[in-house]
Structure formats: C-alpha cells, structure tokens
Amino acid sequence: MSGKSKSNRDRLTELLVAIRACRLCEPNLPLGSRPVIRARETARILIVGQAPGLRVHETGIPWNDPSGDRLRDWLGLDRETFYDDRHIAIMPMGLCYPGRNTRGGDLPPRPECAPQWADAVLALLPRITLIVLAGRYAQQWHLGDKIEPTLTETVRRWRRYEPRYMPLPHPSFRNNLWLRRNPWFEQHTLPVFRRRIEAIMSADGSGARK
C-alpha cells in the first residue's frame, strides 16, 4: 500500500507501532524502554503529562497511580471514560520511565522523546479540540513563548490559551503545598474546566462520568 493511499487510521497505527518499538534513549533509562501512549484518530481530548512513573512503567497503563486518581477527579472523569481512547488520547512528554533523582522524585522527561514523536502523533489526531497540559514540561512544549514565567501564572491566566489548551499543575502529591497556597484553582478554575470536559464528552457521545 502506497503512502498516499493509506488512511489516517493506518498511518497512526503504524506510528504507534514504531513508538512502542522505540529504543532511542534506552541507554539512559534505568529500567529500559517501555513507551506508554494511547491514541486513536477519533479522540477529541489529548492529555499531555510529564513522563510515566514507576507504577505506570510496570503496568503499561498511563496515569495508573495516585496522580492519575487526582487528575481524573480534577477532570470529572471515571476510569472507564478516561481510558476510552476513542475519545481521549494520552501522550506524556517523555514516553518512558526516566528514573528517580537523588531527592526521591522522578527525573524530567528524556529530552530526545518529544522532538521525535510529539508533533508526528498530534498531526494524526485531527479531531483534537482540547489539549490538557498537566505540568510545566507539557506547557513549555505546547505553549512556547506564550507561556508565563511561572506555572502559577500560566494556570491562573488559562483563558489566554482557550479553547485549544487547558493548563494544569501536575497532579502529583508533591504539589499539595501549591494547592494549599492557591485555593482559587480548586475553588474557581476546576469547575470551569470540568464543564468544558463534560461538554466535549457529551458532544462526542460519551456520558460516563464520576
């Protein structure tokens, strides 16, 4: 089959096969490569995080950890809906577990990953109307020079980025102090975000909620 005759679905399927076979930065990964990504050409929402944690690496399921529980709560989605790739694609900035730093947290996403794959995947997701940016790494890549100097200001000024982007703090427990210092986020911003998610999912024929 020639490249011109391939459907968008076929091209995305081939790209995902290539991604899951990627060993680009394996020499720098303590547990080896296990790219974690979910995508289908019908998806309307793309969730972009940082990089898989240890539990995600072990299970191969993105956001399959306490951070994922908090993210689903923030977005008002149950697990079934969250993992329905007909509606929601999930692609972290780094697709493999990067290991841990000396302070006990996870290392940043490997820098080789996003330039290799991020734009190629997004180009084959033509129905995406909302990109959820969970954390600073995702915001830096997608917002570019429109990003504010701090994560707090980027999230606070989220209306600058609508309707395409929804900037969030990373839902890790390490951001509990940030959440306490910025109660406006859960009190005022999240309800608006949940309504946006609900509207997209309802229009897309998925009514599953928390």
Domain boundaries, given as residue ranges, for the chain: 3-203
- Residue 2 to residues 8, 10, 125: CA-CA distances in angstroms? 13, 11, 21
| Token pair 């993105």 in the structure block, residue | 62
Closest by CA to 168, choosing from 206, 201, 196, is 196
Strand order of the β-sheet with 165-168 is 88-90, 45-48, 130-134, 165-168
Q: Say if CB 121 and CB 37 are below 8 A apart.
A: yes
Rg (CA), the chain: 17
> Could you read off the pLDDT tens digit of each residue along the chain, which spans 210 residues?
444 578 999 999 999 999 999 999 999 999 999 999 999 999 999 999 999 999 999 999 999 999 999 999 999 999 999 999 999 999 999 999 999 988 878 999 999 999 999 999 999 999 999 999 999 999 999 999 999 999 999 999 999 999 999 999 999 999 999 999 999 999 999 999 999 999 999 997 765 455
The CATH superfamily of 3-203 is Uracil-DNA glycosylase-like domain (3.40.470.10)
In sign, the C-alpha dihedral spanning 23, 28, 31, 36 is negative
In sign, the C-alpha dihedral spanning 192, 197, 198, 200 is positive
What does the pLDDT read at residue 3? 47
Q: Measure the CA–CA gap between 92 and 111, rounded to whole angstroms.
A: 12
Q: Say if CB 67 and CB 52 are below 8 A apart.
A: no
Alpha carbons within 13 A on the beta-carbon side of 169:
24
Look up residue 93 and give its amino acid.
M
